[in-house]
Chain A
């Protein structure tokens, strides 16, 4: 079949972003021979984030220089199972990463832990509100791990990234200056918080006046020079305002390149092969053991890479698609509710608030960091009694000053015309005296939201595209309306000249044209039962025990927070189990079904 067959290795990693780098770094410590296959090209700070060339909004944010080349592969989308899905032809609602470092090279750097109840949301909801509180079509289930299980791994991943922040709860003791609602932390953040912007100063004050508990949110933009446990050094952030969509020329934003790769790429028992597009995971005749993967290399050769252990470390939709293309696990069927692969596709529902302050206010929006955020958790997860409101979930409400880039980040004064002298006047008037703060809301899993293979559209290799069936549900409309009320209290406390709260209109459809969030989750979810999950609590496939899957595809639903903190902690949790348990009994399940 394959025109080239490589020598067998101990471990093959599919995809080389955050989780690929973590798995590679940790597994090579035991002397294992590890090969990572990355579909995109090499990427590094000097070559892809060089000052001043990188500060180019058109090339990076508008034309998407670092994103997946959609002309070769995209996804198809439909709102409901009755519709024919159509391709996501241009970048809009989400931005898929590509190349070494994946989206971890061009992310903002928001690095949250979960609130403890979020990992056991089903149990918590049933205990607090009763089973009937869960809507009929909602597929709520626990992650299968607890916050306490993950705490050491959250902690270590923060130390790898040099996260800037302020603890609010150390060993159960509330510490002033941090988030009093967060879960117990075993240590303070590696670095102090970033500088507070003027908009954040107003946000902090107004949030307090409105009765909330604002805190400087954890940011992977280094507030000071830092050396991580691997011996890799980050430089201090200079607030350049080009984080998301860009590589960091200052070596300040944590990425695989700035935290792990300088060490990993030098190891003799590690090999990275770029431009290697994995098309399937191969299994033996029994179908119960993976034998390696097949990929197409830069020259178009089909290559077989045998391995004892296969770990999918690609983006959420790619992990899921590869499972479906490989025929591993039972594909989910929304008609019967049976099957697991592809199920629980979730997203985030966001709202916004725009504040217009009187003339003489200067927010200097270009003085920005990707993740230097002020936030509060009072309305997030299950931090308040949901019983009167009849929905599950919540949002982190926060002010982020990520940059003042004029094409994508500047908007004229609300009510201005789209063009002409009125547009110019609106842009000039709004640029310095307006700012926004957002609501980043959770999205639960539903029976009719899932990933499958598209019957019509193909990638450039002739393989079916992943098809996403997804739309908003009433629970989330109710959630965001409630968040909007909280945001309005904060807006009013700022005593602005004007303010505008925007939340989604009930019944409106997912608009794929407008950027919302790249935080897609689910498809290969973790859990306690093989009937309702693809992976066990160690992210090991229930069906093929020498196959593990990392990343946000393992989340049973999506939280309001950004996913990187959780997916990093889960990778460290999983790799510990692989090193300490699995390798002693290779090919055996870590959890009995």
Chain B
């Protein structure tokens, strides 16, 4: 009883502390983002993040690949400014990354009809480890260079080929790896910023999603009227 009475005000105090610096950061970040919209070659916001799961070469691969999947362009920042590489790296350390959300008992029948879904024994972090190594081996064989050392056009072509499942990879199907990478890239671009991606809600702002606003009383019946307010994040950041 006394415990819960004590802990309430303390929690409220901690929340207040946490909110102030976050919103200060938000104001500064909004500036940075609008600069990034004009300077597409601005250093990626995620550059300072040190990956936990990926090694140096893998990290370079992720950065190069996601920059193609969601590039910075006239419509705004891309995956790099949004922090998608950080999002993916952090996901690798979650139960999801370890495949703990899935039924992973064998026997495995990877050759069944694709409509049966995931039937391989690899979990997401293994798909990345094998997929990046396999892709680099493929690029070495085709072009004599690792993926990150190819020019942009060649990188783009490799990704297109992987999407179509053309390259034969040794440890994971190229199409499977590409699907994993693209899926996580979009998740990182469009999920709440607390997970490391969608920094300053750049993904939400791009499409016009309102995030965790969560209150539209009176709006549906207005008919064809564009909702005028931008998104808010779960932490309270506004844009």
Identify the A interface with B (CB < 8 A). 51-53, 55-58, 62-64, 69-71, 73-74, 77, 79, 84, 86-90, 92, 194-198, 201, 236, 238-242, 249, 360-362, 364, 366-368, 372, 401, 404-407, 410, 418-421, 423-425, 427-428, 431-432, 456-458, 509-513
With A196-B220, A424-B73 as given contacts, are A366 and B119 in contact (CB-CB < 8 Å)?
no
Indicate whether B191 reaches chain A with its CB closer than 8 angstroms: yes
With both chains docked as a complex, state the minimum distance between the C-beta of A195 and any C-beta of chain B, in angstroms.
4
- Inter-chain contact B119/A241, CB cutoff 8 Å: no
Q: Is the interface of B mostly helix, strand, loop or mixed?
A: loop
Give the interface centre of A84, A198, A201, A458 by most chain B CB atoms within 10 Å.
A198
With A420-B68, A513-B117 as given contacts, are A58 and B214 in contact (CB-CB < 8 Å)?
no
| A239 CB contacts on chain B under 8 angstroms | 215-217, 219-220
- Nearest to B113 among chain A residues (CB) is A509
- Inter-chain contact B105/A424, CB cutoff 8 Å: no
- Which one of A57, A194, A238 lies within 8 Å of B191 (CB-CB)? A57
- Inter-chain contact B234/A53, CB cutoff 8 Å: yes
- Inter-chain contact B221/A196, CB cutoff 8 Å: yes
6 chain-A/chain-B pairs, Cβ below 8 angstroms:
A70-B102, A92-B117, A201-B223, A238-B214, A364-B227, A418-B182
| A512 CB contacts on chain B under 8 angstroms | 115-117
Task: A56 to B186: give the CA distance in the assembly, Å.
Answer: 15
- Inter-chain contact B119/A86, CB cutoff 8 Å: yes
- Nearest to A58 among chain B residues (CB) is B191
| B211 CB contacts on chain A under 8 angstroms | 55
- Nearest to B99 among chain A residues (CB) is A71
| A194 CB contacts on chain B under 8 angstroms | 220
| A367 CB contacts on chain B under 8 angstroms | 216, 219-220, 227
Would you list which residues of chain B between 155 and 207 have a CB under 8 Å from chain A?
159, 163, 182, 185-187, 190-192, 194-195, 203-204, 206-207
Indicate whether B213 reaches chain A with its CB closer than 8 angstroms: yes
- Inter-chain contact A241/B216, CB cutoff 8 Å: yes
Q: Mark B65-89, 1 if CB is under 8 A from A, else 0.
A: 0001111010110100000000000
- Nearest to B219 among chain A residues (CB) is A367
- Inter-chain contact A90/B206, CB cutoff 8 Å: no
| A366 CB contacts on chain B under 8 angstroms | 209-210, 213, 216, 227
| B69 CB contacts on chain A under 8 angstroms | 419-420
- Inter-chain contact A90/B117, CB cutoff 8 Å: yes
Task: A299 to B219: give the CA distance in the assembly, Å.
Answer: 49
Task: A457 to B112: give the CA distance in the assembly, Å.
Answer: 16
Closest 6 pairs between A and B when the two form their complex, measured CB to CB:
A58-B191, A55-B212, A239-B216, A240-B214, A367-B216, A362-B226
With both chains docked as a complex, state the minimum distance between the C-beta of B139 and any C-beta of chain A, in angstroms.
19
- Nearest to B66 among chain A residues (CB) is A419
Task: A51 to B159: give the CA distance in the assembly, Å.
Answer: 40
Task: A456 to B101: give the CA distance in the assembly, Å.
Answer: 21
- Inter-chain contact A404/B209, CB cutoff 8 Å: yes
With A509-B113, A513-B117 as given contacts, are A419 and B182 in contact (CB-CB < 8 Å)?
yes
Indicate whether B12 reaches chain A with its CB closer than 8 angstroms: no
With both chains docked as a complex, state the minimum distance between the C-beta of B15 and any C-beta of chain A, in angstroms.
12
- Inter-chain contact A58/B207, CB cutoff 8 Å: no
Task: A416 to B113: give the CA distance in the assembly, Å.
Answer: 27
Would you list which residues of chain B between 95 and 132 have a CB under 8 Å from chain A?
96, 100-105, 107, 109, 112-119
| B203 CB contacts on chain A under 8 angstroms | 406
With A90-B118, A407-B190, A512-B116 as given contacts, are A431 and B207 in contact (CB-CB < 8 Å)?
yes
Task: A195 to B71: give the CA distance in the assembly, Å.
Answer: 39
- Inter-chain contact B109/A86, CB cutoff 8 Å: yes
